[in-house]
Structure 1
Amino acid sequence: MVLLDGTGNHPREILGNKGHGIDTMRRNSLPVPPAFCITTEVGTRFLTDPESTMDAIWADVLSRMSWLEGQTSRTFGKGPSPLLVSVRSGATQSMPGMMDTILDVGMNDDVEAALAVATSPEFARDTRDRFTRMFRRIVGDEDPPDDPYAQLRASIAAVFGSWNSPRAITYREHYGRNEPGGTAVVVQAMVFGNQAANSGAGVLSSRNPITGANQPFGDWLPGGQGDDVVSGLVDVEPITALRDEQPAVYDELMDAARRLEKLAGDVQEIEFTVEDGKLWLLQTRGAERSAQAAVRLALQLRHEGLIDDHETLRRLTPAHVQALLVPVLQPEIRVAAKLLAKGLPACPGVAHGTAYTDVDQALDAADRGEPVILVRDHTRPEDVLGMLAAQGIVTEVGGAASHAAVVSRELGRVAVVGCGQGVVTALEGKQITVDGYEGEVREGSLPLSAWSESDTAELRELADIARRISPLRAHTAGDYPSLDDPSESAVRSAMTAGTTDVVSDSPLRIMLTALRMAREDAP
């Protein structure tokens, strides 16, 4: 069990992604609520023997809770200044929306009364209701116990157990991640975006994870908590609204984002809360991004000197390149088709198929070989099977940081979110085309046309970099053996034969495959 006070410098494999990010931010004196981490090693033991594991760690949990009380000058489970905590999952590799989090743990009648006196009865009741709903949904279909430590123990166990939830297993299987280990659990002092008029919560990507534009991107929700933002159940404002409402807080957030980018050498996704005008950073991690953004952001970071040529290419895969070459709608075709819905472009690309609003029906249609567009009011973690089966995803509500948006980018599914109430009913059963570049849904299955590697400036630049590094250099012309098959087996055969240069119409994909194989084969 580790205090996340920035002094330990423990590896990500021990702290999990979330704990490692918190520890990094604390080490660099950023405004982070105090927290401690129950490590991935404990999470692994829990999966084998839950009760004995909880018994073994409980004295340490109580000790760390005393430390949190000292850090916050608050008391867990009682007034006059109550401490509430969040209990969050923290896998080593990010699994957005797949495992559980419980907020506002430590709430009971005495705490609600103390919060009502210290702030307002409305805030106290809202916080109590949030906790009760979340506890019932995640821990069990019953009211939480009055004992705050019983709440805490049950919450920690539930979060550890969510490693083996059906949606988490499905997610890992999709990515071929069959690691047996469990998640870490982070216990952190709560801060409240639902407390006062100048409070709120949001998610910031330090650069646009959809297009790769070098500009901040994200959602801001005045008067809300982080779970509101990521759920997709409420309408949010763009991150620029925070700049207009609280410019000093916005500037502090942008400064923190730039610092974290330099520390990580990567674009960051930052969850934050503003409590009565004070900024708190809750989490930072590498931002999930579309294939287009992955290419453009890797080049940006290289141009800025944050990563070198090797790291630039390490961040890209042949699949990223292939996604850039997927056919797209030409402007004259797009504008001639009837516009059925418009929302926020959450993952670029174009997909067409039949709109299904029921996950089971969508799965049945996909099993029949039918192209499917999943249309929902909002997506839930348990919808991941339907999202995997679909070519595209459309939602009525939600912003850039909603579950639908983040998971769609991770899965590489074309997505448009926040299209407005009534879209589910209006689209059900129709043949539609989803344009993740424009944030549009248009009638019919519209024809597409494609580019080639040599037509895209970013891909040409990457190919030039790769030729200086790759053990198998690929050219668009020249007196070299021909290799037009970018598959792993074809590339390996060429490398095994001692070939160093080939000519191909897929040069970048061939070189990225060769580089990955060389890394895997290295001792």
Structure 2
Amino acid sequence: MTSTADDLSSILILDAVTTADRDLLGGKAWSIQRMMALGIPVPPAFVITTDVCRRMHSTGETLPADVWRDVPAAVAELEAVTARRFGAAPRPLLVSVRSGAATSMPGMMDTVLNLGMTDEVEQALAEQAGDTAAFAADTRRRFREQFEKVVGCPPPSDPWEQLRLAVVAVLDSWNSPRAISYRESRGLPHDGGTAVTVQAMVFGNLDDSSGTGVLFTRDPLTGGAEAYGEWLPRGQGEDVVSGRADALALAELAATMPGVHADLLAAAARLETDSRDVQDIEFTVESGTLWLLQARVAKRSPEAVIRHAVMLRQEGLITDAEALDRVQPEHVRTLLTAHLDQADVAATAAVATGKPACPGIATGIVVTDADDAEERADRGEAVILARPTTDPDDVAAMSVAVAVITELGGSTSHAAVVCREMAIPCVVGCGTGTLMALAGRTVTVDASTGTVYPGEITVVPASTVDDPDLALLAQWARAEFPDSAPGSLPELLQRRKMEKIR
């Protein structure tokens, strides 16, 4: 093992001077080293590189012996930084074990939080927290449930065996059916592999000055310039991104911890300037101290892609050509979309309302089972997938649905992020028990307003009024082809794509 990336080691300690690229580190670890280099507070971590995953799947090894032999030394580095001991009292170190492919695959692979938990550790956590049960018991419950779901068995009492099993499960998740299907649907290669990031835990569930959240540096729904996010007091990261809990608006963090909120926005601005693109940031606050866990280029609605491309060009962060590179023909076609007839809307009482997560309009039959949704879509039915909340096992059904609606979760939940990437109309957080009764009914989803109507609502064709951002993009695109006939913006963008391929 080495703490630098000058040789392609299987395990690397992440720090401000690590120079390994995204293909070796995976997106999650690469973002950690990038944040460290920018002076942003990040819990210490090491990464088992994508090279290990490729070795495993090419040779059939469960976990190469030489890799596992180096893990204790890497854990010792985390212990030294945190002044804690892995799986041992009186100051225990717990870790997260997270997947991270070079290309972002939101919600596809597996994570285990709070790993290293034992009876002794639970008691030590309770004593440190100043309570006898609540925080420590909550942390152990979370660990047990997540470990059993990801690894497939109850957690053993030995923390090192917990770690080994979790690492193997995360590496194996690269070839899970949902991950394979995801890559195939997007034309991604199957030989890249995932890295495994092992990071010291910070606890958003510790006390009233703790919590977790997600921040977008600009609005991923409308394309607005303002920061956008959600905050969940006394929560851990998976609570927000999974959609299991209804988070609060980020303004609540500003109201209760203005200093933390200001620090978060400052870090977000540094990350956006450095990347020259809109960022999706996961963060945790532990007893009033801010920690960033991950930052990546944000998945956005088609409208937001267009608005942000023009906005960033006008701010001088990117060039004309880079703005055009970020906009696809289908983004433009989606922006010039239809809307519901307002007379029909006024005469129809909504059957559900929630938060807009990805705009669009769709009419179809509500189906609440993912397998049933896939089968009915294969028969040519327009299916609207309704779930309490989605998880990676639902992605195949989501990809064939005309819309997705959920009872729980916010606009940074799994359902919202995946639907924005796939440009599928999505409404989240409609309320517990509101959707399951709709099974088998035909409904119309207006995901621009977060409303679900009974039956089929008349759709009015899109407006032909010129959009100033589309006009600017068309102007920049035509400047690249001065000797050609003008053509529409989608045609010009398609021509640019084809010429880049050639």
TM range (shorter): over 0.9
Q: Deviations over 1:283-334 (max 9, x none)?
A: 0000110111100011111111111111101111111112112322244443
One-letter amino acid of the counterpart of residue 145, structure 2: R
* Displacement of 1:517: 2.0
For residue 13 of structure 2, what is the aligned residue in structure 1? 3
* Displacement of 1:280: 0.4
Aligned length: 490
For residue 471 of structure 2, what is the aligned residue in structure 1? 460
State the alpha-carbon separation in 2 of the partners of residues 272 and 165 from structure 1: 27
State the alpha-carbon separation in 1 of the partners of residues 311 and 261 from structure 2: 23
For residue 493 of structure 2, what is the aligned residue in structure 1? 512
Unaligned runs of 5+ residues in structure 1 are 474-499
- 1:68-107 matches, within 5 Å, as 68-107=78-117
State the alpha-carbon separation in 2 of the partners of residues 83 and 467 from structure 1: 58
CA RMSD of aligned residues (A): 1.5
State the alpha-carbon separation in 1 of the partners of residues 336 and 450 from structure 2: 19
The equivalent position to 2:209 in structure 1, one of 185, 198, 213, is: 198
Moved more, 73-82 or 48-57: 48-57
Q: Deviations over 1:258-292 (max 9, x none)?
A: 11000000110000000001000000000110111
Residue 227 (str. 1) matches residue 238 (str. 2): yes
For residue 326 of structure 2, what is the aligned residue in structure 1? 315
* Displacement of 1:413: 0.6
Q: Deviations over 1:28-49 (max 9, x none)?
A: 1101001111111111112233
For residue 25 of structure 2, what is the aligned residue in structure 1? 15
- 8 A Cα contact 2:408 2:429, kept in partner: yes
* Displacement of 1:194: 0.4
For residue 419 of structure 2, what is the aligned residue in structure 1? 408
Moved more, 222-231 or 440-449: 440-449
CA gap 1:332/1:53 in 2 versus in 1, 3 angstroms: same
Residue 166 (str. 1) matches residue 147 (str. 2): no
Residue 133 (str. 1) matches residue 116 (str. 2): no
State the alpha-carbon separation in 1 of the partners of residues 405 and 271 from structure 2: 32
- 8 A Cα contact 1:54 1:157, kept in partner: no
- 8 A Cα contact 1:453 1:459, kept in partner: no
- 8 A Cα contact 1:453 1:460, kept in partner: no
For residue 3 of structure 2, what is the aligned residue in structure 1? none
The equivalent position to 1:348 in structure 2, one of 343, 359, 374, is: 359
For residue 497 of structure 1, what is the aligned residue in structure 2? none
- 1:37-186 matches, within 5 Å, as 37-49=47-59, 51=61, 53-119=63-129, 120=131, 121-141=133-153, 143-186=154-197
For residue 445 of structure 1, what is the aligned residue in structure 2? 456
For residue 273 of structure 1, what is the aligned residue in structure 2? 284
TM-score by length of structure 1 reads 0.91
Q: Deviations over 1:188-218 (max 9, x none)?
A: 0000000011100011111111111111212
For residue 8 of structure 2, what is the aligned residue in structure 1? none
One-letter amino acid of the counterpart of residue 510, structure 1: E
- 8 A Cα contact 1:375 1:395, kept in partner: yes
- 1:417-456 matches, within 5 Å, as 417-451=428-462, 455-456=466-467
- 1:264-343 matches, within 5 Å, as 264-343=275-354
* Displacement of 1:219: 1.4
State the alpha-carbon separation in 2 of the partners of residues 260 and 417 from structure 1: 28
For residue 398 of structure 1, what is the aligned residue in structure 2? 409
* Displacement of 1:361: 2.3
One-letter amino acid of the counterpart of residue 252, structure 2: A
The DSSP-based 3-state class of the residue aligned with 2:357 is strand
Q: Deviations over 1:123-176 (max 9, x none)?
A: 1111111111111111123x2111111111111111000001111111111112
State the alpha-carbon separation in 2 of the partners of residues 423 and 87 from structure 1: 35
- 8 A Cα contact 2:112 2:146, kept in partner: yes
* Displacement of 1:96: 0.7
State the alpha-carbon separation in 1 of the partners of residues 230 and 470 from structure 2: 30
Unaligned runs of 5+ residues in structure 2 are 1-10
State the alpha-carbon separation in 1 of the partners of residues 62 and 484 from structure 2: 59
One-letter amino acid of the counterpart of residue 214, structure 1: A
- 8 A Cα contact 1:454 1:460, kept in partner: no
* Displacement of 1:454: 6.1
The DSSP-based 3-state class of the residue aligned with 1:354 is strand
For residue 502 of structure 1, what is the aligned residue in structure 2? 485
One-letter amino acid of the counterpart of residue 109, structure 2: M
The DSSP-based 3-state class of the residue aligned with 1:269 is strand
TM-score by length of structure 2 reads 0.95
State the alpha-carbon separation in 2 of the partners of residues 422 and 115 from structure 1: 36
For residue 488 of structure 1, what is the aligned residue in structure 2? none
* Displacement of 1:503: 4.6
For residue 243 of structure 1, what is the aligned residue in structure 2? 254
One-letter amino acid of the counterpart of residue 75, structure 1: R
* Displacement of 1:102: 0.6
State the alpha-carbon separation in 1 of the partners of residues 383 and 166 from structure 2: 37
State the alpha-carbon separation in 1 of the partners of residues 342 and 68 from structure 2: 62
- 8 A Cα contact 2:44 2:199, kept in partner: yes
* Displacement of 1:455: 2.5
